[in-house]
Amino acid sequence: MLNISLKHYTNEALISELHILVFQERTLSLRVIAFLREVQCRSLHIEMGYVSLFTFCVEELKYSEGAAYYRINTMQIVEEMPEIKQAIETGELSMTTLSMVQSACKAKKKKTKIKVELKDKRELLEAVKGKSKKQTEAILHDHFPELRSSAKPESEKKLSDDLIGIFFNADPELMKKFKEIKDLTAHQNPSPSYQELFHMMSDFMLERIDPVRKAKRKAERQVKLKVHGKDQQRESEESKDKIQRKGESQLQPCEVESTVESTVEIPPPTPSHHCSAKTEQVIWTRAQSHCEHVDNKTGHRCSETRRLQLDHMIQYAVSYDSSEHNMQLLCTQHNLYRAKQWFGTPFMEQRMGRGSG
């Protein structure tokens, strides 16, 4: 395609044809956005093992993160105001400026909890029509004074193969917390660098919140408890023997029985909706702390590592099985997707307080 020769075009014909192609490109972009919206409506991206439409655009469609972000923002704004399609086709509004407006409106809602009215958004779009990225930035800067900040954007920069420079903004409250942690751990390291401090805080947090570590600790505790129980039982049995031997000469049998009642018994595991700590550890290890949803058609597995939950493949009420063979680790999206498969979308939406409309 790129090897086609355009030498035979006159200058006028070349520019004219280029205008037509650019128009078609914009029309095609709108078509892509309409298709993305339909994928979202059908939750196809979830079924295919992607946790969000953004991940689907990046991993499945191979868009860059920026391109995916622009398209999703444009999709949302076109859905609210379908009349802007014409301005996109003519080039008066680009996906870049549309995305900037949508991002600013979202940021305002996040910061002030106030949604930008459709009327205001429409006026804003009129103001940025035909404007460059820089001009749009200036318009948004004036329009949303509440979003202005002296903070520099957070950034990560690879400095070498084993070193990454991180920049972030710290407020006085955070600096005070850092100082408190440094003071409280001064006996371990009197003057930690920020890297050492973050290592220490990360280790501390992971010990507390990492499900694999938690399950491992719990399983180890249960083993210790069993060993301790067996030790106590052995001690009791030895004590019982001792008393029995003594009782042969001094005590009646009924008195011996009443003396050995303190044996610690560990109840056997009973069938439960919840799996044991050992099983939990097996599942987290098997899943390598990733969502285990796999698209049956493509074999694509979800890559989500956040907010994972244990799920029964066949509902416990049906299977009575909480073993690792019937349990899987799912992200929130795929847990909800599975629940909708089991109980139906109307039921789940009603349960989540969304209603069916």
Residues binding Zn ion (CB under 5 A): 51, 291, 293, 302, 304, 331, 334
Within 8 A by CB and 6+ apart from 195, the residues are none
Closer to Zn ion by Cβ: residue 54 or 144: 54
Q: How far apart are the first and last CA of the chain?
A: 47
d(CA 36, CA 45): 9
Closer to Zn ion by Cβ: residue 98 or 291: 291
Closer to Zn ion by Cβ: residue 49 or 279: 49
HSE, side-chain direction, 13 A CA sphere, residue 137: 3
Q: Give 49: exposed, middle or buried? Use CB within 10 Å, 0-12, 13-18, 19+.
A: buried
* Cβ–Cβ under 8 Å, residues 39 and 21: no
User: Can you state the percent helix, strand and coil of the chain, rounding each to 5?
Assistant: 60, 5, 35
Question: Which pairs from 204-213 meet CB under 8 Å and 24+ separation?
Answer: 211/280, 211/284, 211/289, 211/308, 212/281, 212/284, 212/285, 212/289
How many other CB atoms are found less than 10 A from the CB of residue 292?
A: 20
Distance in Å, CB of 46 to Zn ion, minimum: 8
Distance in Å, CB of 167 to Zn ion, minimum: 31
Distance in Å, CB of 299 to Zn ion, minimum: 14
Distance in Å, CB of 223 to Zn ion, minimum: 32
Closer to Zn ion by Cβ: residue 45 or 293: 293
Q: How far is CA 13 from CA 1, 16, 248, in A?
A: 19, 5, 118
Closer to Zn ion by Cβ: residue 125 or 331: 331
Closer to Zn ion by Cβ: residue 102 or 333: 333
Closer to Zn ion by Cβ: residue 240 or 301: 301
HSE, side-chain direction, 13 A CA sphere, residue 269: 14
Distance in Å, CB of 42 to Zn ion, minimum: 17
